Homo-oligomer: A and B are copies of this chain.
Amino acid sequence: MSQDLPTTSYALLGLLTFGDDLTGYELKQRADRTLRFYWVSPAMSQVYTELERLTAHGLVSARAAGPNQRSSKYSITAKGRRTLTAWLEDAPPEFPVLKHPVALRLLIGHLVDPEHSKALLREHLAALTARRAELEQVRESLHGRDAPGEAFRYPSLVADWGLEYLDGERTIIEKLLLRLDEE
């Protein structure tokens, strides 16, 4: 069928399957709203690079700027939809990759004062709370359009997953803090 693309291509292509067409700028915004929590939100420059590549492969098409539009909107093509579906069905998913700066720092905690490691974890708790609030807001915005069969059913499920993940991490950190106190 079609050669392999980087996962980011499929991710952005997927963001175009919710029924509307977007400019590169808008696509980046959508990535910031959703993709960011489970993948990465590609850099602006990368979004445009991907749109070019997807266009070259015929997976998206740009609707040229009309007289009243100053920029081009991209929409997924039938071929794009087919390719994306085939990717979902055939390509086995990789195991998740976690880049966790806090865990990394704790790993070499023997270099610093234990108090510092505790402060690190406490600050991470605060960051988790902030991140949770952001995701909660996204989840709220899907409310009412997420019943089985509706458009935002799956985004909503994934948002719930994300919220539980954040809650779980908080619990773990709190336990770690207790263990660090036992000295």
A residues apposed to B, CB below 8 Å: 7, 10-11, 14, 17, 34-35, 37-40, 81, 84-85, 88-89, 92-112, 116-117, 120, 123-124, 127, 131, 148, 151, 153-155, 157-158, 160-162, 164-165, 168-169, 171-172, 175-176, 179-180, 182-183
A17-B110, A107-B155 are known contacts; what are 13 more A-B pairs with Cβ within 8 Å? A10-B104, A35-B104, A40-B97, A88-B105, A93-B101, A93-B124, A95-B131, A97-B99, A103-B161, A106-B158, A157-B179, A160-B176, A164-B172
| A104 and B172 in contact, given A17-B110, A39-B99, A131-B95 (Cβ under 8 angstroms) | no
Q: How far is the CA of A161 from the CA of B155 in the complex (A)?
A: 27
Interface contact A157-B106, CB-CB below 8 Å: yes
Interface contact B38-A110, CB-CB below 8 Å: no
CB distance from A126 to the nearest CB of B (A): 11
Interface contact B172-A17, CB-CB below 8 Å: no
Q: How far is the CA of A144 from the CA of B160 in the complex (A)?
A: 39
Interface of A is mostly: helix
Q: How far is the CA of A98 from the CA of B171 in the complex (A)?
A: 18
Q: How far is the CA of A59 from the CA of B131 in the complex (A)?
A: 35
Q: Which residues of chain B are within 8 angstroms of A95 by Cβ–Cβ distance?
A: 101, 127, 131
- Chain B residue at smallest Cβ distance from A14: B108
Interface contact A98-B96, CB-CB below 8 Å: yes
Among B93, B106, B123, point to the contact of A154 (Cβ < 8 A): B106
